[in-house]
Structure 1
Amino acid sequence: MGERVLVVGPAFHGYSESLATALRVLDHEVATHPYDLYATVGDKLRNKVRYELPERLGRPEGDRRRRQDLTVRAIAALRAARPDAVVVIRGDLLGADFWQTAEALKARTVLWLYDELRRMEHDPETLRRVDTLITYSPLDAESLRASGVETHCIANAFDDTYEIRPEPVESFLFVGARYPNRQRAVERLVAADVPVLAVGRDWSHHLFDRLRTWQLARPDVPARRDVSRSEAYNLMAGALGSLNIHTDQDGFTMRTFETGGAGGLQLIDRPDVSEFYDPGTEVAVFTSEEEMVELARRAVADRSWARKIGEAARRRTLAEHTFVRRARKLEQVWG
């Protein structure tokens, strides 16, 4: 039998649940705490009024209240679980009291970062005090090691416990947040008469999504509201292909491995994806919008080419890039 593990992390990405499932496969007893989950309508309304509205008005108390409340809830989960090890995903909203409580309970602490440090608000002391620090960012790992902080680099992954049921979609798919460079790329495909479907609250034309994102304007792009992770996988499997557009990240997004795991064609803007997949046979790499359009048009015209790449990507993903494989690496480094 393995150890008692508490996985603490954001609710939205599903990363925590996937890691917890993988650790259970490896025979650990695992509990989870999604620290920013607002499950009920009342919770969601409270989040808007207590936290987000003050921030929108330029007042700092919203962020301060959020951090205090989330820390208190996470400490309660920690005390209830009394784990041998606590694995915190991202965790920059948790205060020092949380880490002090973990130490008092003699739990080994692991902090796993799936974003670059410059986009988080971690106290440098926290990075030094945790027993095991993991990042998906090779550049952050190099920088942290240079400053004397032992750091391990582990990439994102695909959760292969989901059953894939392809949902036919005669469009190119983009699932994710609407950043300016992503919007430009999606609109470029639309302008080139390539069928596109953008998925997520930032793209949705539904009034509720406009209100909860505090953005009434939306690009003129076919869109769908948020979908579950399982539904996203099914869409990736059934679409003509999926766009994976990074911002200024040096780590690879979850979508890199999820699209391949679902067996879909992936158009990606990072030639260095060759660390994980073979460009041309397992993914399609573009370095300009013109190349992106050309590849998308080829996929529309040559379905067998797109299908062949997706099938090869799925084989590679299941062999090398599942959460269970990442969890085995975690076991090796957490001491």
Structure 2
Amino acid sequence: MHDLPSTGARSEPAPRAPRGTAPRVLVAGASPDRLNRNAVLRSFVVEGFAEVLGRENAREARVELAARAVEQWRPDLVVSFGSCMPDESDYSALRRACDRTGAILAFWLHDDPYEFDFHYRAARVADFLFSNDRWAALHMDHPRAAHLPLAASPTAHFRQRPARRRFDVFFCGVAFENRKHVVSDLAETLRRVNTLVTGSDWPTKSLPFAQDRHLSNEEVADGCAASLLVLNLGRSLHFANDRYRLDPSTPGPRTFEAAMAGAAQAYFATGLEICEYYEPGSEVFLFDSPRDFASLLDSLLAEPDRAAAVGLAAQRRTLRDHTYARRAERILRTCLGFEPDAGGADRPAASVDAGA
């Protein structure tokens, strides 16, 4: 994390004393929603700030309306959330609006390290810069860069475990090459139980338990809750990661979302940062070979209550530590020096996309 030679951000943004009981926070898109398959995550971030600050103090705006929203609503903090890789990612108008109104401008990038080479677009205008990935954050050229993992939404992802299980093993995600290799290695085990692997581009002929079908965020949570065991396989597809060729270190959002749904997860361990979020054996299962996975699955088929207990423990841990409200508290402390009241307001957020 190093200083840039030139930046449009304030050299030393001083935390502002919040007016009244709570500051105002605007969560803006970092790229056009039509180009961002994960745009739904922004609503979860707004929900988190609304829970902490109250509905009246948390709003959202699409990237193309963000500067106008800042001028109209005059927030204390703007959090630009998403991807800055698209060519449309020009934040000069947003930076000028923040300068005119005195708002602090923070970015929370959600696709690191896969788009790391484009983080400069945010770094040159941001007062604070957050990355979803720890290893990427350590390499960022910004004096106030920090690591902030993604999280889960109680509203969108919390599930009660159904009485009847639909799948023995469940996985949903795009069929990136590293995932296809792992699933192919596990195929002998997956074929002998009730397995569903689904997502874009899965080879259904060679993997008969796979479907080339995208599921909604809600459907994924339902599938996780109704499964004995959920496979957790990170992705490895680098759109713009040539500078350092960084490997991902932090678990992605699906880890927290599945846990919020009460799933017992089998996490393919390419690193041990997962252990900072969930306790191995009691909140998550780890494996690193087909033999380990087969042994784990056989033990859970014989003792399904053990899987249910791990899923429930993971859900409790997520509600305590890994919601977007907890991440919002971290951003508020870092950017504004604001200490939220315990409990939060637990209310949904308004939107300024329509010029409210």
TM-score of the pair, normalised by structure 2: 0.71
Moved over 6 A (4+): none
User: Aligned pair in 2 of structure 1 residues 188, 321: CA closer, same or farther (>3 Å)?
Assistant: same
- Once the 2 structures are TM-superposed, how far is the Cα of residue 125 of structure 1 from its aligned partner? 5.7
1:56 aligned residue: none
Alignment of 1:69-148 (within 5 A): 72=64, 74-75=66-67, 78-79=70-71, 81-92=73-84, 93=86, 94-106=89-101, 107-122=103-118, 124=120, 126-144=122-140, 147=141
Q: Distance in 2 between matches of 1:20 and 1:219?
A: 39
- Once the 2 structures are TM-superposed, how far is the Cα of residue 179 of structure 1 from its aligned partner? 0.6
RMSD over aligned CA atoms reads: 2.7
* % identity of equivalent residues: 25
Q: Distance in 2 between matches of 1:78 and 1:249?
A: 33
**8 Å Cα contact 1:91-1:111 kept in structure 2:** no
User: Aligned pair in 2 of structure 1 residues 82, 199: CA closer, same or farther (>3 Å)?
Assistant: farther
2:213 aligned residue: 225
Q: Distance in 2 between matches of 1:77 and 1:223?
A: 42
The letter of the residue matching 1:160 is: P
The letter of the residue matching 2:154 is: D
Query: Counterpart of 2:225 in 1: which secondary structure?
Result: helix
Q: Please, which moves more after superposition, 1-10 or 217-226? A: 217-226
Q: Deviations over 1:211-230 (max 9, x none)?
A: xxxxxx99544327333323
Q: Distance in 1 between matches of 2:148 and 2:311?
A: 24
Match of 2:176 among 179, 188, 191: 179
Q: Deviations over 1:157-189 (max 9, x none)?
A: 121124514463223111222111112223333
Tell me whether 1:164 sits opposite 2:159 in the alignment.
yes
Q: Distance in 1 between matches of 2:319 and 2:114?
A: 31
User: Aligned pair in 2 of structure 1 residues 121, 73: CA closer, same or farther (>3 Å)?
Assistant: farther
User: Aligned pair in 2 of structure 1 residues 218, 31: CA closer, same or farther (>3 Å)?
Assistant: farther
The letter of the residue matching 1:268 is: Y
Match of 2:60 among 28, 32, 40: 32
**8 Å Cα contact 1:236-1:264 kept in structure 2:** yes
Larger RCO, structures 1/2 (Cα 8 Å, 6+ apart)? 2
2:347 aligned residue: none
1:196 aligned residue: 195
Q: Greater helix share, 1 or 2? A: 1
How many correspondences in the alignment? 286
- Once the 2 structures are TM-superposed, how far is the Cα of residue 21 of structure 1 from its aligned partner? 0.6
User: Aligned pair in 2 of structure 1 residues 177, 118: CA closer, same or farther (>3 Å)?
Assistant: closer
Q: Deviations over 1:121-153 (max 9, x none)?
A: 525263143111111222222223xx5522122
Q: Distance in 1 between matches of 2:74 and 2:288?
A: 49
The letter of the residue matching 1:197 is: L
Query: Counterpart of 1:309 in 2: which secondary structure?
Result: helix
User: Aligned pair in 2 of structure 1 residues 195, 142: CA closer, same or farther (>3 Å)?
Assistant: same
The letter of the residue matching 2:105 is: T
Q: Distance in 1 between matches of 2:317 and 2:50?
A: 23
Question: Which sections of structure 2, spanning at least 5 residues, go unmatched?
Answer: 1-20, 237-246, 337-356
Q: Distance in 1 between matches of 2:185 and 2:74?
A: 52
- Once the 2 structures are TM-superposed, how far is the Cα of residue 97 of structure 1 from its aligned partner? 2.8
1:55 aligned residue: none
